[in-house]
Amino acid sequence: MEFPTLQVDAAQLVSELEQLATYSDCSEPPPAVTRVVFTETDLRARDYLRGLYEAAGLTVRVDAVGNTFARWEGTEPELPAVGTGSHTDAIPHSGMYDGTVGVLGGLEAIRALKRSGFQPRRSIDVVMFTSEEPTRFGVGCTGSRLMSGAMTPEELAGLQDEAGTTYDEVRSQAGFEGELTSAMLDKEAYSAFVELHIEQGPLLEQAGEAIGVVTAIAAPATVHFEVTGEGGHAGAVLMPMRRDALAAAAGMVLAIERLALDSSSPDLVATVGELDVHPGAVNSIPSRVRFTLDLRDIDGENRDDVLDSIIAACTQIAAGRRVEVSHKVLNADPPAVCDERIVDAALQAATKLGLPHRQMISRAYHDSLFMARVAPTGMIFIPCRGGVSHRPDEYTSPEQLESGVATLALTLAQLAS
Ligand code: GLV
Ligand code: MN
Ligand code: MN
Q: What does the pLDDT look like over 148-202, one tens digit per residue? A: 999 999 999 999 999 999 999 999 999 999 999 999 999 999 999 999 999 999 9
Domain ranges of the chain: 10-218+335-416, 220-332
CA distance 313 to 398: 47
Shortest-distance ligand to the CA of residue 294:
1
Distance 259 CA to ligand 2 centre (A): 25
The arithmetic mean of pLDDT across residues 218-233, rounded, is 97
Pairing type for strands 284-285 and 232-233 reads antiparallel
- 231 C-alpha to center of ligand 2: Å? 36
Interior CA angle at 41 toward 38 and 46, to 5°? Answer: 75
DSSP 65-125: T--EEEEE--SSTTSPEEEEEEE--EEEEE-S-TTHHHHHHHHHHHHHHHHHT---SS-EE
Question: Separation of 270 CA from ligand 1 center, angstroms?
Answer: 13
> Following CA atoms 327, 328, 329, 330 in sequence, which dihedral angle do they give, to the nearest 10 degrees?
-140
Q: What is the position in ligand 1's atom list of the atom closest to the CA of 389? A: 2
Predicted confidence at residue 1, as pLDDT, reads: 82
Which among 127, 168, 163, 170 has a CA at the least distance from the CA of 147?
127
Site residues for ligand 1, CB cut-off 6 Å: 133, 140, 364-365
For residues 295 and 220, what is the distance between their CA atoms, to the nearest angstrom?
6
What are 192-208's pLDDT values in tens digits? 999 999 999 999 999 99
Residue 296 CA: nearest ligand 1 atom is 5
Pairing of strands 68-72, 33-35: unpaired
Q: Whose CA is nearest to atom 5 of ligand 1?
A: 364
The average confidence (pLDDT) of the chain is 97
Q: In the CATH scheme, what is the code of domain 220-332? A: 3.30.70.360
Q: Is 400 helix (H, G, I), strand (E, B) or coil?
A: helix
Q: Domain 10-218+335-416: state its class.
A: alpha beta
Per-residue exposure over 276-312, b if at least 16 CB sit within 10 Å of its own CB, e if not: ebbeeeeeebbbbbbbbbbbbbbbbebbbbbbebbbe
Q: What's the pLDDT tens digit per position in 297-327?
A: 999 999 999 999 999 999 999 999 999 999 9
Q: Which ligand ends up closest to the CA of 95?
A: 2
Q: Counting ligands in written order, which one lies closest to the CA of residue 362?
A: 1
Question: 328-367: per-residue pLDDT in tens?
Answer: 999 999 999 999 999 999 999 999 999 999 999 999 999 9
412 CA to centre of ligand 1 in angstroms: 24
pTM of this prediction?
0.93
